[in-house]
A = this chain, B = another copy of it.
Amino acid sequence: MRSIRPSPGAATSGALLGTALVLALTCATSAAQAQQSERGGGRAPLVLKEQGMFYLGGDIVHTDAANGPNGPTFLGKSGDIAINQMYVGFMLPQSEHGAPIILMHGGNLSGACYETTPDGRMGWYEYFARQGHAVYLPDQVSRARSGFNVTPFNEVAAGTRTPSELPNLLVLTKAASWEVFRFGPSLGTAFPGEQFPVEAIDELAKQSIPDQNAEFESPPGTNLTPTRLAALGVKIGGAVLMGHSESGFYPEQAALVDPTGLQGLISMEPATCNASTLAAGQIAKLAKIPTLVVFGDHLADVPTTSVNWPAALDDCQKYVDAINAAGGDATMLHLPDAGVFGNSHMLFQDKNNIQVGRMVLSWIDQHVGGKSHKS
C-alpha cells in the first residue's frame, strides 16, 4: 500500500517547496486506484497487537453536587469525584512501522470523527494503524468519553449558582457547519468537485458533542487539553501530534508546555497559527520539532464572517516561514497547490481522505521517521 511513496531522501531538503511538489507528483498519479483499494471487500485483515483505552490525568475533587435536585436521592450528592481527565483510545499494530500518531479532534466533535467517515468509509484511525502506526485517539477534556464536571450544572439546578455561570455548550448547526467547513455556498448546495460526502451531512451532525471550551472568551490557559496531549506524548515515549480546527494549534501549544514527547507537529486547518503573537523564544522552541500545516480548498469561497480562512492560511504561512527562518523544518501543504482539489475543512472525512492521509504519512516518514519495523 505504500508503493507510491517517493524514494527515500527524495524530499529531505527544500522542505518548503520541494515536499509540496513531490507530494503532488506522487499523489496525483495513483490516487484513484489507491482510494478504491482501501474500500470495500478487498480489504486485508487489520492485525493488532492490542487495542483499548486509558484515562490520562484528572483530579479527584470534593463536590456537594454530584447529583442534581431532580436526581435519585439514595446515591448521595457529596463526596469525591474525578474531573479534568482525558479519555484515550488506541490501536497498536502487530507489526509497527513509523512514528506513533495522536489524532486530536476539533471543536464540537470527538475522536469518533477519525473513525468511520459519515458515509461509512475507513477513517484515518484505522488507515494509519493499517499502515503500521500505533494510533492514539483521545476525546478532548470535558467532552464525550472524557466526561465533564457536573458541579456547576447541578448547582445552577439547585439554585446555589446563577444561570449565567453555566458553562457554555456549543454545537454547530447544519447550516453553520456547511459554511464553516466549506461544503458549498449554502446549505444543500455543494461546490463543484466538492470532496466532502455532502449526502451524509446528517451523519456529521450526529457526531456533534457539546463543546464547553468557549475558547474565544476564556482566558488563555484554562484549556487543559494541550497539557494532557504533552503528557500523552511523554507516556507513549514519543509521537507525532496532529490537531484539527479548534485543536489545530494544540500541537504547538502542547510543545510549548513540554516538547519532550513530541516528534512532529501537524496542524490541520487551524483558524490561526499565532504568527504575530509568538515570541522569538517560543518560535525557537517550536523550531526544534518538524512541523506540517495542512489546508484544503475553497478557502476564499465562503464568507469570512465566521472563520476567515484566507487570513488563516496567510498567518500559518508566516508561522511556517518563521519556523524555517529559525532553523526549523516546517512545511505548508495547501492541497490545491499540490494538485489536490475540492477538499473541505473535514479533509480526513472527504471522499479522497485516503489520498490526503497518505500525503500526511509521507511527510511523517520523510521528516520524522520513527520506530522502524518493530514487531
Which chain B residue shows the least CB distance to A204? B82
Which chain B residue shows the least CB distance to A72? B216
Assess A50 versus B55: contact at CB under 8 Å? Given A78-B173, A305-B74.
no
Residues of chain B with a CB closer than 8 A to A154's CB: 166, 168-169
Q: Does A327 contact B (CB under 8 A)?
A: no
Assess A153 versus B150: contact at CB under 8 Å? Given A115-B52, A144-B144.
no
Q: Type the 1/0 row for A214-232, where 1 means its CB is closer than 8 Å to any CB of B.
A: 1011000000000000000
Of B71, B82, B144, B148, the residue contacting A217 (CB under 8 A) is B71
Q: Is the CB of A203 within 8 A of B72?
A: no
- A98–chain B nearest beta-carbon distance, Å: 19
Residues of chain B with a CB closer than 8 A to A91's CB: 51
Q: Is the CB of B163 within 8 A of A157?
A: yes
Which chain B residue shows the least CB distance to A305? B74
Residues 183-214 of A contacting B (Cβ, < 8 Å): 202-203, 205-210, 214
Chain A positions within 8 Å of B, measured between CB atoms, are 43, 45-55, 58, 60, 63, 66-72, 74-76, 78-82, 85, 87, 89, 91, 94, 110-112, 115-116, 120, 122-123, 126, 139, 144-145, 147-148, 150, 153-154, 156-159, 163-164, 166-176, 180, 202-203, 205-210, 214, 216-217, 305-307
Nearest first, the 5 A-B pairs at minimum CB distance are A79-B173, A52-B116, A82-B205, A55-B206, A85-B206
19 example contacts (A-B, Cβ-Cβ < 8 A) are as follows A46-B50, A47-B48, A51-B51, A51-B91, A54-B120, A55-B206, A60-B205, A66-B170, A67-B171, A70-B217, A75-B170, A78-B173, A79-B175, A80-B173, A81-B171, A81-B174, A81-B205, A110-B145, A159-B163
